[in-house]
Structure 1
Amino acid sequence: MKSENETQLEEVKTDTLGKVGGWVKKTKAGLFLRAIVSVSLFLLVISRVDFYTVKELFARTEPLYFSLVLLTLLADRLLMAFKWNLLIQVKGIVLSIWQGFRIYLVSNFFGIFLPTSIGGDIYRIYYTSKRQGQVEEIAASVVLERFIGTIASAMFAAFGFALMIGLHSQLLPEHNLLLIILGLFMFSLAAFWVSIQEKTLNGSEYILGRLENFWFFRKWLQCQRAYTGYRKYKRALIVFFFLSVIEQGFFAVANYWGAKAMNLNIGLIYFIGIIPICQIIMRLPISINAIGVQEGLYTLFFSRLGLSVSEAFSLALLLRVGHWLVVLPGGILYLTHRAEQKNVLKYPVKQ
C-alpha cells in the first residue's frame, strides 16, 4: 500500500507533467512564430554589424571586468532565490537558500532552450513541486514574483530614464517613452491591486465554479486562491518589492561592467535607465530566449548614446555569453542530482 505522501507526490507529478506536456503541444505553432521573430531580428541586426570590430572587441575584453559581470549575474541569481524564499516560506514551504539557488540555476538553464522566460518558470514549478508538492502554492508564488518584478522594473526604469533625459536629453529625444514607462508602472500596479483582491477571487469562483470538474478550471481556481492568499502577508510583499527594485540595479551594474570590459564609454546612469526597459520587453513571449530582441534593443538604445551598431551588438552578445556561463552549472546540477530526486519521490521526507 502506498503512503498518503507517496500518493500525493505522484498526483502532483502526474498533474504537473500533464500541464507541461499540454503546454508544449499547444505552443508548437507559437514556438515556430517565435523562432521566426528571433531569426528575423537577429539577421536584421547582424546585417549591419562589422564582424571585424566584434572580433576586436572580444579580443581585447578585460578578464577582470568580465569576471565582475559573472559575479554580478551570479549574485543576482542568489538574490532571486532569497526573494522567492520569502514568498514560499510564508505559505509553509521550506527550502534552504541553497536549494532555492539550485532550483533557479536549473530552471534558468532549461529556460535557455524554452521559449522566453515563461518556459523556465514552468520548469521551476515542476522541479520544485516534485520535492515539495503544493504545486498551486508554488505556481502562485512564481506568478506573484513576475507581477511584482514587472512593477519594480517599470518604477526603476522610469526613475533611471528620467535622470538620463535630464542629463542628456539631446541623445534620447523620445520623451514620450518616459510617459509610456510611467503608464506601464501605473497600469501594472493597478492590475496587481485588482488581481489580489478577494472580490476578484469571488468573481472567478462565481463564473468558473460550475466548471471545476474540468482540470484546467479547477487548477486555475486553486492557483488563484493560493495567489489571493498572499494578501495576508503584506510585510513579505513589501520586502519582496523593495528587493525586486534592488535587483534591477544588478542587471544595470552587470551591463556596466560589460561595457567597461570592452572599453566602451557609457556611464552607469544610462544602464539604469535603459536596461530595465529592455528587461521588460525581453520578457514578452515574442521570441526564443529573447534572441534577436536583446540584440535589437541594445543597438536601438545604445547607438543613440554614441556606440556603433557593432559595439552595441558586442555588448549584448557579451552579456548573453555571461548569462549562459552563469546558468551552465544548472545543467550540471540537474544531471548530478537526478538520482537524488528519484529517491526523494520514492522515499519522501516525512514532515
Structure 2
Amino acid sequence: MKNISKYLKIAVSLALLAALFWIMRDKLSGIVSIIAHAKKPFIAMSVGIFVLCMILQSFRLKLLLDAQGVHIAIRDVTFLTFIGQFFNNFMPTSIGGDVIKAYYASGGTKKKLETFTSVLIDRVLGVITLSWIALAALFLYPDDIANKIVVVIIIIMCVIGTVFTAVIFNKKAARIIVFFERFFKSPRIKDQLQRLYEATHKYRHHKMLLLHAIWISFVAQLMFFYMAYLLAIAISSGVSFTFLMLNMPAISAASMLPSLNGLGIRESGFVYFLGGVMGKTNAFALSLLYLGVMLVMSLVGGVIFLFK
C-alpha cells in the first residue's frame, strides 16, 4: 500500500508537470528564450541568498535541538539541512526531507524522539512565520492580491499557525497529542505520544529561545521571497517584492500537498497565482529558474551526504 501511495504521488507530480508543459507548449520557445537571456548576476545572487537561508535555518534548528538537550555542532546541523534538501527530491511532499534530517540527527543520541520533535517544531515555526508574514502582507498590500484564492489560503494558514502556536505555548492545548492515546492499544505507542507531548510542551519553558528561533524564521522566510524576487528581476518580469511576498506563501502551501517534493504543483502554482500579473510565460520561466536553484542546492546536499 505504501509503495502504491508513493508511486501515485510521483505519477501526480509528473502528470501535472507534463500537463503544464502541454498547456504552455505554444509558449515554450518564448520561455526558453527568457531563461537563456536571464541576467546571470541576479541568478548568482539568488543562489547566494538561498545558501544564507539554509544556514539561517540551521541555526534555528540548532536552537530547538539545544532546548531538548540534543547538542549537535552547528556545522553538522548545517550539513543535515543541506542533506534534507537533497532528499526532498525523492520524498513525498516538500517536507519529506525533514524525516531524513531527523533520522540522521538522531543517529548519535539516545534522545531520538526529542530530536524528531525538534525537527517537527522547526517545520512548524516555518509555517507559523510564513502565515504571519502572509497575513501582514494581506493587510499592508491588498492591491497586490492577484487571486482571491490567495486570501483563502492565507486564512487557512493562519488558522493552522494559530493551532500550532497554542499547542506549543498552552499546556491544555498541547494535551491534544495525548488525546490520540485512546485510539491506540499498544502501550509503546501510548508512551511515545506521552513523550511527544512532554517534548513539545518543553519549549514553553524556553520562551526566549523560541523568540530567537521565530526571529530567525522571519528573516529566512523574507530572504526566500527576496531570492524569488531576484529571479523575477533576472527575467525582467516587472513584479514588485510585495507582490511576491503576498502570493508566494500560497505557492509554498500548495507545494506541501502530496507530490514528489511539490514538483508540478509548485510550478503550476507559479503560473496560476503569478501569471495574471507577470504573464504566464514569465511565471513559468520563473518557476523553472526557482526549481533550478533548488536543484543546485540539492546537489550540494548530495555531495555532502556522499562524503560525510
How high is the TM-score relative to the length of structure 2?
0.90
**Worse-superposed segment, 140-149 or 218-227:** 218-227
Give the aligned residue type for 2:8: L
8 A contact 1:69–1:258 mirrored in 2: yes
8 A contact 1:211–1:218 mirrored in 2: no
Q: CA deviation at 1:211?
A: 5.7
Look up the match of 1:184.
157
> Which residue of the other structure, out of 51, 70, 73, is the alignment partner of 2:47?
70
- Does structure 1 residue 333 correspond to structure 2 residue 304? yes
In structure 1, the gaps of 5 or more residues are 1-25, 338-351
Look up the match of 1:292.
264
Question: Could you list the runs of 4 or more consecutive aligned residues of structure 1 that deviate by over 3 angstroms after TM superposition?
Answer: 161-164, 194-207, 209-218
Look up the match of 2:195.
222
In structure 1, how many angstroms separate the alpha carbons of the residues matched to 2:259 and 2:183?
36
Give the aligned residue type for 2:22: S
- Does structure 1 residue 304 correspond to structure 2 residue 279? no
Look up the match of 1:157.
134
Look up the match of 1:248.
221
Deviations 1:24-55, CA, capped at 9 Å, x for gaps: xx632221221232122212211122221121
In structure 2, how many angstroms separate the alpha carbons of the residues matched to 1:300 and 1:244?
27
- Where do residues 72-221 of structure 1 align in structure 2 (5 Å cutoff)? 72-166=49-143, 168=144, 172=146, 174=148, 177-178=150-151, 180-194=153-167, 197-199=170-172, 205=178, 208=181, 213-221=186-194
In structure 2, how many angstroms separate the alpha carbons of the residues matched to 1:63 and 1:161?
32
- Does structure 1 residue 27 correspond to structure 2 residue 14? no
Deviations 1:257-284, CA, capped at 9 Å, x for gaps: 1111222211111111111221122123
- Give the SS at the match of 1:132: coil
CA-atom RMSD in angstroms = 2.3
The count of residues paired between Structure 1 and Structure 2 equals: 306
In structure 2, how many angstroms separate the alpha carbons of the residues matched to 1:206 and 1:188?
20
In structure 2, how many angstroms separate the alpha carbons of the residues matched to 1:177 and 1:311?
19
Look up the match of 1:20.
none
Look up the match of 2:252.
279
Q: CA deviation at 1:137?
A: 0.7
Look up the match of 1:4.
none
Q: CA deviation at 1:215?
A: 4.0
Distance 1:47 1:218, change over 3 A: same
Deviations 1:49-95, CA, capped at 9 Å, x for gaps: 22211211121122211101100111100000001111111222222
Q: CA deviation at 1:221?
A: 2.8
8 A contact 1:139–1:223 mirrored in 2: no
In structure 1, how many angstroms separate the alpha carbons of the residues matched to 2:76 and 2:193?
27
- Give the SS at the match of 1:131: coil
Look up the match of 1:314.
285
Distance 1:179 1:323, change over 3 A: closer
8 A contact 1:85–1:95 mirrored in 2: yes
Distance 1:111 1:183, change over 3 A: closer
Look up the match of 2:209.
236
Give the aligned residue type for 1:34: K
In structure 1, how many angstroms separate the alpha carbons of the residues matched to 2:227 and 2:176?
43
Could you tell me the percent identity over the aligned residues? 21
In structure 1, how many angstroms separate the alpha carbons of the residues matched to 2:238 and 2:285?
14
Look up the match of 1:38.
13
Give the aligned residue type for 1:301: F
Look up the match of 1:344.
none
Deviations 1:159-190, CA, capped at 9 Å, x for gaps: 22344423x56xx262x642552353144213
8 A contact 1:205–1:221 mirrored in 2: yes
In structure 2, how many angstroms separate the alpha carbons of the residues matched to 1:96 and 1:211?
37
In structure 2, the gaps of 5 or more residues are none
Look up the match of 1:52.
29
In structure 2, how many angstroms separate the alpha carbons of the residues matched to 1:229 and 1:212?
26
Q: CA deviation at 1:144?
A: 1.2
8 A contact 2:93–2:260 mirrored in 1: yes
Give the aligned residue type for 2:266: Q
8 A contact 2:67–2:206 mirrored in 1: yes
How high is the TM-score relative to the length of structure 1?
0.80
Q: CA deviation at 1:148?
A: 2.0
8 A contact 2:178–2:197 mirrored in 1: no
Q: Select the structure of larger CA radius of gyration.
A: 1
Q: CA deviation at 1:310?
A: 2.3
Q: CA deviation at 1:223?
A: 2.4
8 A contact 1:212–1:218 mirrored in 2: no
